[in-house]
Structure 1
Amino acid sequence: MSEVVLKSQAAKATTGALNKLTTAQKDAALLRVADALVAAQERLLAANEEDIIRGRQQGTSESLLDRLKLTPERLEAIANGVREVVALPDPVGETLAAFTRPNGLSIEQRRVPIGVIGMIYEARPNVTVDAASLCLKTGNAVVLRGGSAALSSNRAIVAVMREALSGSDMPEDALQLIEDSDRKSVDEMLKLNGLLDVIIPRGGASLIRNVVQNATVPVIETGAGICHTFADESADYAMTEAIALNAKVQRPSVCNSMETLLVHEAFAKQHLAALAERFREANVTLRGCDSSRRLAPWIESASDEDYATEYNDYILNIKVVQNVDEALNHISRFGTQHSECIVTENAGNAERFLQEVDAAAVYHNASTRFTDGFEFGFGAEIGISTQKLHARGPMGLPALTTTKYRIVGSGQIRT
C-alpha cells in the first residue's frame, strides 16, 4: 500500500477523536506546537539550509529562494501565527441558524469540521505550519503534500509539530506529510475519495490547473494572482507611487503582488515617466504598450502573453488606457479574480470599480498586498480562494468548516 493511502488512512482514523476535543484542548495542543517550533530553531534552520543549497545547485531563481528561506525572524513569525490562531474564536459548534417549524420540529444549523483536508502546495514552508494550525484548530485532520524544493524543511517542521502533539490531547496522526516527491503522489491524492474530504491546492497556475482538472475529490481552488492597479485620471501621484511600488516591490514573489499597472492616459502624460523611473530605480523590468513606451522609452514591448503572465518577480507590465471602461475590460480579460485596485479621487469611478470588478478582493486607494489572512485579522490563512462556491478570498477558520443540521422532535412523523 502506498505512502499516500497509508497516511491518509491514519489521518482519517483520528477524525472521531478530533470531533470530541474541546476548544481548550485544541488550543493547548497548538500552543505546544508554537513553543516547539521556536525551541527547534537550530534544527529547522539546518534543514532549510539543505533546501536552499539544493535550490541554488538546481538554478532556482532568487525570488523563489526567498519564498523558501527560513530565518530566525521568520520562524518566530510563524510561531506567532500559530499563537494568533489560538487566540481566534473557534467556529466549530457555532450556531448559524435556529428555528422551530409549525409541526414542532426544532432545527439548528451548526458549524462542524470538514473531516480530512488534503493540502497540495509548493515552496513555502510557512504554509506547512499555517495549513496545519488552521486545520487542527477547526478539528480537521490534514494530509500535507509540499513541493520537493522544501522537502527537508517540511520534514523537519512536521516532525517537530508531531512531537509536540504527542504530548497533548490531540492525536499526532491528525497531521501527516507525504514525503514522496514523485508527481504520482499528487495524482493519487486527487483520487482519494472516501479518505480525503476536500483538496486545497496552493501554488502556481500549472499546479492549480492540474488539481482542478484531474481531481475527483472536491477542490477549493486557490487561484493564480494576476493582479492590477489602475491609476485613474484623478489619482494623487504620491499615493499612486506609494501603492504601486508597494504592490510590486515589497514582496514580488507572492500571489497578491501587482503584475500590471493600468494608467489613465491623462495621468500617464503627467506622471508615467516619473513613475517608470521609480520602478527602474527599484530594479523592476518594465514591459508596456506603445503609448507607455513613447512616454518612457526604456520600457520594453509587452505582448498579450505578458499581460496573461503571473511573474512573481521584478517584472511589471504597464498599459495606458483611455478611461475606466478600458481598464475594466482589460482586467476582465487578463485578471484571475484575485485582487484588483483603483487609485482615484473620483468617488463615482471608485464605486464603479468596486462594484463591477469580479474578484475576491477589490481595493480603492490601497495596495493589493493586503489580501492576506493575517492582514484581514483571520490569523494564518490556508489559501486565497478565487472561486465562488464555499469560500472566496483569504480562507481563515470558518472556511475550513461545513455545517450540520440538528433536528429535535417529539415523535413527529411525515404524512
Structure 2
Amino acid sequence: MNTLEAQIEAVCRKAKEAARKVARLSAGEIDGALAAIGEALEESRPRIEEANRLDRELGCTQGLSPALLDRLTLSPKAFSTMQRGIEEVRRLPSPLGRVLEERIRPNGLRIRKVRVPIGVIGVIYESRPNVTVDVAALCLKAGNAVVLRGGSEAFYSNTALAQAVRNGLDRAGLPPEAVQLLPTVDRASIPILCRQRRYLDLLIPRGGPGLIEAVVTHAQVPVIKHFQGICHVFVEAAADLEMARKIVLNAKCQRPAVCNAMETLLVDRRIARAFLPGMVRELRARGVEVRGDEETQRLGGAEVVPASPEDWATEYLDMILSVRVVDGLPEALSHIEQFGSSHSDAIVTEDRDAAEEFLRSVDSAVVYWNSSTRFTDGGEFGLGAEVGISTDKIHARGPMGVEELTSYKYVVVGSGQIRE
C-alpha cells in the first residue's frame, strides 16, 4: 500500500468510527451541532473569504472559464445562502426513527419499517465550495458521516470551510471525524476512494462526464450519479408567448453556469414565426450565442450560428443556447429522448392534454409545466439544501435532501414466536 492509499484509508476508517457515534445521537444533539457549525462558519468568515480569494486568483492564472470562476466564487450572497441553508436543514424534522410502514402478522409479529442512516457517504465534486458545507449539513442531519473530495480549483476554500465545520462539531461535543475532507487533489485519490468498500456505504459524484466515468469505472460501492444537465424548454403551439419569453430568459440567463439551466430550446413550428424572431433578438441582447437549425437561422437572422450535431448533446454551462424548430409534441419528445440527460425538462403551453402527455412521457428526474427549469434545487424544493441532483432511478432521483440520505431497516417485535 502506497502513502496516498494509506492516507485515504485512514481518513475513511476514522469516518466509519465516527459514523457509529453519530448514528446513536438524538435529533436534538444533531441540531445543536448544526447550530454550532453555523456559528463557527461566521467566526471563520475572514479566513474562508481569504482562501476563496486565493482560489479565484489561481483560477484566473490557470485560465478557468467564466462559468467555472462563477461556480468557484463565494460572494457575500453565496456565503449568506450557505449559512441560511444550514439553518434550514437544522429546522427540518429529523427523518431518523420515522416508521414508514407497520403491520401485524397473523402470528402476532409486529413488523415496522424504520428510517435509519446510510452510514459513511463519499462525495466527489468539482468547483463549488459551498457544496462542502451543504453536503456536511445534510449528511449529519441524516445521521451519517461524510468523506469529501473537492476539486483542485477550490482546494483552499474547501479546506477552510471543512475546518470550520469540524470546529463546530468539536464545540458541540461531536466527533470532528464525522466530516472529512481528503487533504489532496491528486487525481489518483479518486479511484482509491472508490475502492474503500470496507468503510464507505455510498458514493455520490457530482461533476462533468470525465469525473462520473472515472467513479463508475472504479467504484466498488454503490453510486448515485449527479450527471449532466442538458435541460430543455419546449414552447408548444398553445403557449402563452409572453410567459414563454420570460421562462426562456430565466432558464438560460439567470445563472447559465448551473446544471438546471436550459441548454436547448425547442419551438413548435406552428408558432415559430410569431415567437422566434423576437426571442432570438432578446437572447442576443442578453449576450446569448444562439446556435440554431436551418429554420431557426431563417427566422432568427444572420446572428444565429448554425448548430452542429454535437450541439444538441452539449451541456454548455455558458451563455450559449441550441434552438430547434420541431413538428409538435411528438418530435419534441423524440428530441428529448435522444439528447436529454434525464435531469430537468419543461413544456410551456395552455393545452392541458399536451402538458400532461409531456409530463408522462419525458423520463427525467424533474418535469415542468409552465415553469423554469431553474427550480430544480434542494432549497427551492423545500429540502434546505441538496447533495446533488440524482439523474439515476434507483434509491434517489432529483434533488437529494435529508431523506434521500437515509435507508431503512425492519424492526420486528414478537412474544416468543418461532417459525414452524
Paired residue for 2:263, among 259, 264, 267? 259
Say yes or no: does 1:315 pair with 2:312.
no
CA distance in 2, matches of 1:267, 1:177: 52
Matches within 5 A, 1:334-413: 334-413=339-418
Q: Judge which range, 209-218 or 145-154, deviates more.
A: 209-218
Which string of whole-angstrom CA distances, capped at 9 and with x for unpartnered residues, describes residues 209-250 of structure 1? 221232111101112100000011111111111000100000
Paired residue for 1:49, among 46, 50, 53? 53
Which letter does structure 1 place at the counterpart of 2:356?
E
Q: By how many angstroms is 1:179 displaced?
A: 1.9
CA distance in 1, matches of 2:274, 2:20: 64
Query: Which residue does 1:330 correspond to in 2?
Result: 335
Query: Which residue does 2:248 correspond to in 1?
Result: 244
CA distance in 2, matches of 1:209, 1:334: 18
Q: By how many angstroms is 1:367 displaced?
A: 0.0
Paired residue for 1:120, among 99, 124, 129? 124
Which letter does structure 2 place at the counterpart of 1:339?
S
Q: Residue 35 of structure 1 contacts residue 79 of structure 1 at CA under 8 Å; is this kept in 2? A: no
Q: By how many angstroms is 1:205 displaced?
A: 2.1
CA distance in 2, matches of 1:404, 1:30: 26
Matches within 5 A, 1:5-84: 5-84=9-88
Stretches of structure 1 lacking an aligned partner (at least 5 in a row)? none
Paired residue for 2:291, among 287, 290, 301? 287
Stretches of structure 2 lacking an aligned partner (at least 5 in a row)? none
SS at match of 1:217: coil
CA distance in 1, matches of 2:217, 2:341: 17
Q: By how many angstroms is 1:3 displaced?
A: 2.0
TM-score, normalising length: structure 2 = 0.97
Paired residue for 2:157, among 153, 156, 160? 153
Which letter does structure 2 place at the counterpart of 1:245?
L
Q: By how many angstroms is 1:366 displaced?
A: 0.2
Query: CA RMSD, aligned part only?
Result: 0.9
Q: How many residues align?
A: 415
Paired residue for 1:201, among 190, 205, 211? 205
Q: Residue 52 of structure 1 contacts residue 69 of structure 1 at CA under 8 Å; is this kept in 2? A: yes
Which letter does structure 1 place at the counterpart of 2:160?
A
Aligned residues with identical type, % of pairs:
49
State the 4+ residue runs in structure 1 displaced beyond 3 angstroms.
none
SS at match of 2:31: helix
Which string of whole-angstrom CA distances, capped at 9 and with x for unpartnered residues, describes residues 68-107 of structure 1? 0012222121111000000001101100011111111111
CA distance in 2, matches of 1:236, 1:209: 41
Q: Residue 15 of structure 1 contacts residue 116 of structure 1 at CA under 8 Å; is this kept in 2? A: yes
Which letter does structure 1 place at the counterpart of 2:237?
E
Paired residue for 2:273, among 263, 269, 287? 269
CA distance in 2, matches of 1:164, 1:337: 37
Q: Judge which range, 102-111 or 144-153, deviates more.
A: 102-111
CA distance in 2, matches of 1:111, 1:319: 46
Q: By how many angstroms is 1:48 displaced?
A: 0.3
Matches within 5 A, 1:145-224: 145-224=149-228
CA distance in 2, matches of 1:118, 1:353: 35
CA distance in 2, matches of 1:381, 1:412: 43
Which string of whole-angstrom CA distances, capped at 9 and with x for unpartnered residues, describes residues 274-297 of structure 1? 000000001001101001001112
Q: By how many angstroms is 1:360 displaced?
A: 0.5
Q: By how many angstroms is 1:272 displaced?
A: 0.3
Which letter does structure 2 place at the counterpart of 1:68?
L
SS at match of 2:350: coil
CA distance in 2, matches of 1:322, 1:107: 54
SS at match of 1:34: helix
Q: By how many angstroms is 1:41 displaced?
A: 1.4
CA distance in 2, matches of 1:62, 1:166: 37
